Amino acid sequence: VNCETDFVARNEEFVALCNKLVDVALANKTKSAEDLLNAKDGGKPVSEEITAAIAKTGENIVIKRLDYLAVPGEGVIGLYIHALGGKMGAILELTADKKPELEAASTVARELAMHIVSTKPQYLNREDVPKEIIEEEHRIESGKADLASKPAEIKEKIIAGRVDKILAERCLSEQPFVKDPSATVSKHLETKGKELGAKLSPARFALFILGDA
């Protein structure tokens, strides 16, 4: 939820409005900002509450982005907000093939949400990366000056290695886990899953950075 100044952002009434919007979105399983504006709170559309808040604060208030995550069957939701009133946060849908111990699984999910805020992955897995993105990275690496004099076969191997590294940095499952860089996120979840007696898999995540679209 965006306003125009830090003064309003830290205002108790604005914070209360944001919390109310979260409650309404959760109660209605709202999946978009537009749907939330049309949702009812005490019989009144949310859009009217936003309009009233704009009139009271004198600032434009916009529901910029909304994501709704729910775990089907077993699993947990992980949530992390960086510091009180932080400008970054993440939510994660962590599924399990068997019912894990709730508190321990919630800790795993929260730590992974913290990892997402820290590393800002763009994709869940390698197969989620659009083909055109891979092709563009290949094109960029192909045009770099340090490869100009390399034989074609060697050049292609170097390009493939560089693109592979770039994709690994952008995919959550392949990133080194921030609390234990010796293991990738997928390996970390495999280890934790064995401890909890369930296969843990991240199904979806959403990263929020204040000011981003």
Query: Residue 213: pLDDT above 80?
Result: no
pLDDT score recorded for residue 86: 73
The better pLDDT of the pair 82, 94 is held by 94
Q: What are phi and psi of 91, to 5 degrees?
A: -125, 145
Does the domain at 75-124+171-209 match CATH 3.90.550.10? Answer given as no
Q: Compute the average pLDDT of residues 74-92.
A: 88
| Residues 60 and 68: beta-carbon distance below 8 Å | no
**What pLDDT, in 10s, does the model give residues 172-198?**
999 999 999 999 999 999 999 999 999
The DSSP bridge partners found for residue 92 are 78, 205
Q: Compute the average pLDDT of residues 133-161.
A: 93
Domain boundaries, the chain: 6-57, 75-124+171-209, 130-170
pLDDT score recorded for residue 161: 96
Q: Compute the average pLDDT of residues 113-133.
A: 97
Query: Residue 114: pLDDT above 90?
Result: yes
Contacts 24+ apart (CB under 8 A), 29-32: 29/68, 29/70, 30/66, 30/68, 31/66, 31/67, 31/68, 32/66
- As a whole number, the mean pLDDT across the chain is 93
Q: Compute the average pLDDT of residues 45-72.
A: 93
Which pLDDT band holds residue 95 (cuts at 50, 70, 90)? very high
**What pLDDT, in 10s, does the model give residues 6-44?**
899 888 999 999 999 999 999 999 999 999 999 998 888
Q: What angle do CA 86, 92, 95 make, to 5 degrees?
A: 160
What percent of the chain is predicted at pLDDT more than 90?
81
Query: Residue 85: pLDDT above 90?
Result: no
